[in-house]
Structure 1
Amino acid sequence: MKKLGLFGKLLFFINSLFVILLLLGYFLPYIPPHVFPRLAVLSLVLPVLLFINALFFGYWLFRMRRQLLLSAIVLVFGIGHITALFRFGSNEDNVRDSDLKVMSFNVHSFTRFGKTPRRELEPEIKAFIAQENPDVISFQEYNPSLQWMQEYEHQYVHMTNRKETFGQIIYSKFPIVHSGSLGFGNTGNNGIFVDIVKDLDTLRVYNLHFQSFRINANFSQLQREDSKRLLGRMAEAFEKQEDQMELFLSHEAQCPYPIIVTGDFNNSATSYVYRKVKGEKVDAFAKAGSGTGRTFTFDFLPLRIDFILADEKLEVVNFKNYDVQLSDHYPIMAVLRNTKEL
């Protein structure tokens, strides 16, 4: 086997750097963001690092070089992360009338990328909700100016700004016997919850909206921003997410009922915050979804940052990602079944 030339050595050096970055990304779910806040950004770009290492593996395989072992080993080592980001399967439509359909959707104040007037978007969202007919809906970045959900008799809303134009809401077809806000503090983000009664069973539904990064989703515009300032702002957001996560975990620990967590985490399934919030709960996408599970598109990069996590006492029957452009996020819905019915 021939030795590598100058170009091959340079390429293998670059390959090695991406292997190191990927390995660091693998360990991030176990490292609190406050320890290395700037490094936490790797949790968002882990799919890119996986793809790049797969390309290197393919290149060395094509050239029949032993250097392929480096990327091959690191890809095999991260198989658990790969399954968290991609799911190969299909949904089986075996939904029963007694199942619970839970939807989560960051509605971006009902303005679709900040451009479409609310009065124009209202009929589209209304038709979408009517067609899918969820039993419980969690909206993040909710604006109360549109009063079009009267068909949901029970609801809990909490606004996070002084003008009461921005917040979160949970709609339910079932009675709400208790509700409240977690109170994330001096931020537009928050967590709320409701206890609903369905078939004599009480379930708690959380609607979480962890700290936002306040960045433009267009890569070309993002390049114009000072990289040091951008990284610092993202690091600060990761630390705030950790604080908000701790508030949630403390609140959750006192709950006596089966729990369903919905919301926009502003972080990926390979992050520390996701791992801690998930705990022993079941990720509905990982159980019954397919593809990348995209809920937000950062220019060319599909991200799964919105989640529905179900208590182990509930079976995930079905999960859907909707490819509808009604916001800068894409809605998701899980169909859950009480294991008592099995």
Structure 2
Amino acid sequence: MKKLSILDKLLFFVNSLLATLLLVSYLGYFISPNIFAFFSFLSLTIPFSIILNLIFIVYWVLKLKKQFLLSTIVLLIGYQYITKFYSLSEKKVLLTEDAKLMSYNVRMFNLYNWIDEENIDQKIFDFIKEKSPDILCIQEFHPSKKLNLNYPYKYVKIRTNQNNFGHAIFSKYKIINSGSLNFSNSSNNAIFVDLIKNNDTIRVYNIHLESLKINPKEETLTQKNSEKLKLRVENAFKKQANQAKLIIQHQEKINHKSIICGDFNNNAFSWVYNQLKKGKNDAFEIAGKGFGTTFYYKFPFRIDFIFTDEKIEVNNYKTYDVKYSDHFPIMARLNFETN
């Protein structure tokens, strides 16, 4: 530190705070918000902390200072978080027997004109038709939009509430069983179907976990509303944890392969992500590229996921940059025939 200028000493102090914050934030992956919600709050900051620590590494390396080791060590400790945040290369294995699974939060097909553009519902329909997924999981599905998606099999579950929206699964494969988990005290939900493909039974969950009800574009944090915001988000974290447990318990009752996909309303550094991913692969980590951003904002937020049974081969994964909702659609090519 003696060889550092006053400015560099100040920067290293800031660097130390950010490195410590990142290190402590890792705990949010392992600690349930029902035990200590504070770490769930911190886990939301991990993407920002990763980028800021990377910037400090570059700064110290360019100045040939050993201070770069601090952030480097912290990032190496959390190497698994880097791979969740950014993927260097896309896996492209396109087999004719692949099943294409798409997950898309359509925000009620722009029913209330959040996007100031005409025919958003038709553009969503045209996009889906163009990509032609074999299995289509939609969150915030609204039945007032009579779009002919032209799938031979479907399961739609609408929750009775003021918005009258729900979930839908459309399939080119025969559905032999379906149902809803019916989250309590929530407008959100999870539904499932059992599909048959080449005599193989696959369970698909389409989930939408509790929203944190944070709008970074509109909500201004002030001293007056900060406590209300904190309590609201903490309550949402706890609801998410209970919803994740319900999904896991429901899944434990089957002995065939399963897939969990949908809008988690949380990132890849959260406890609910960790719990739902157990025994599964994150399709983005296996076959995606880039940040995999799924929520429309200036910063890369990945809150929509496709988790596959480890016996299912993920051959490709894409996030589509189409602004027909506040979420981007994601699609994976899956081979169910592997052992």
TM-score by length of 1: 0.93
**What residue is the counterpart of 2:33 in the other structure?**
33
Shift of 1:161: 2.6
CA contact (8 A) 2:317 2:333 kept: yes
- Determine helix, strand or coil for the equivalent of 2:27: helix
**Partner-residue secondary structure (3-state), 1:302:** coil
User: What are the within-5 Å matches in structure 2 for residues 1-342 of structure 1?
Assistant: 2-92=2-92, 94-111=93-110, 114-116=113-115, 120-162=119-161, 165-218=164-217, 221-223=219-221, 226-298=225-297, 300-340=298-338
- Residue 320 of structure 1 aligns with an amino acid whose one-letter code is K
Please give the secondary structure, in 2, of the residue aligned with 1:260. Answer: strand
Q: How many residues get paired?
A: 338
Could you list the runs of 5+ residues in structure 1 that have no partner in the other structure? none
Over the aligned positions, Cα root-mean-square deviation in angstroms equals: 2.0
Q: 1:274, 1:113 → 2: CA distance? A: 30
Identity %, equivalent residues: 41
8 A Cα contact 1:88 1:291, kept in partner = yes
Determine the C-alpha separation between the residues in 2 that align with 1:118 and 1:201. 42
Question: Deviations along 1:54-104, whole A, 9 cap, x unmatched?
Answer: 112222222222222211211222211101111000242x42332111000
Q: Secondary structure at the match of 2:296?
A: strand
Question: Hey, what's the Cα distance between the residues in 1 that align with 2:148 and 2:270?
Answer: 34
Is the 1:110–1:118 contact (alpha carbons within 8 Å) kept by the matching residues of 2?
A: no
1:234 to partner: Cα distance: 1.3
List, as ranges, runs of 4+ consecutive aligned residues in structure 1 with deviation greater than 6 Å: none
SS at match of 1:268: coil
Deviation per residue, 1:132-191 (Å, 9 max, x gap):
000111111111111213411211111123357211111111111111111211111111
Q: Structure 1 residue 123: deviation in Å?
A: 1.9
Q: Aligned equivalents of 1:104 and 1:175: distance in 2?
A: 19
Residue type of the partner of 1:239? K
Give unpaired runs (5+ residues) of structure 2. Answer: none
Quick one: distance in 1 between partners of 2:268 and 2:282?
A: 9
TM-score norm. by structure 2 comes to 0.94
- On the 8 A contact 2:27/2:39 being kept in 1, the answer is no
Is the Cα contact below 8 Å between 2:129 and 2:149 reproduced in 1?
Answer: no
- C-alpha displacement of 1:117: 7.7
- Which whole-Å CA distance do the structure 1 matches of 2:90 and 2:269 have between them? 22
Distance (whole Å) between structure 1 residues aligned to residue 151 and residue 216 of structure 2: 33
Amino acid of the structure 2 residue aligned with 1:304: R
1:25-65 alpha-carbon deviations (Å, 9 max, x no partner) = 22221111122213312222211101111112222222222
- Of the structure 1 ranges 149-158 and 129-138, higher mean CA displacement relative to structure 2 is found in 149-158
* Aligned counterparts of 1:213 and 1:291: Cα–Cα separation in 2: 25
Structure 2 counterpart SS, 1:323: coil
Is the CA contact 2:110–2:121 (under 8 Å) kept in the aligned structure 1?
A: no
Distance 1:181 1:89, change over 3 A: same
Cα displacement (A) at 1:326: 0.9
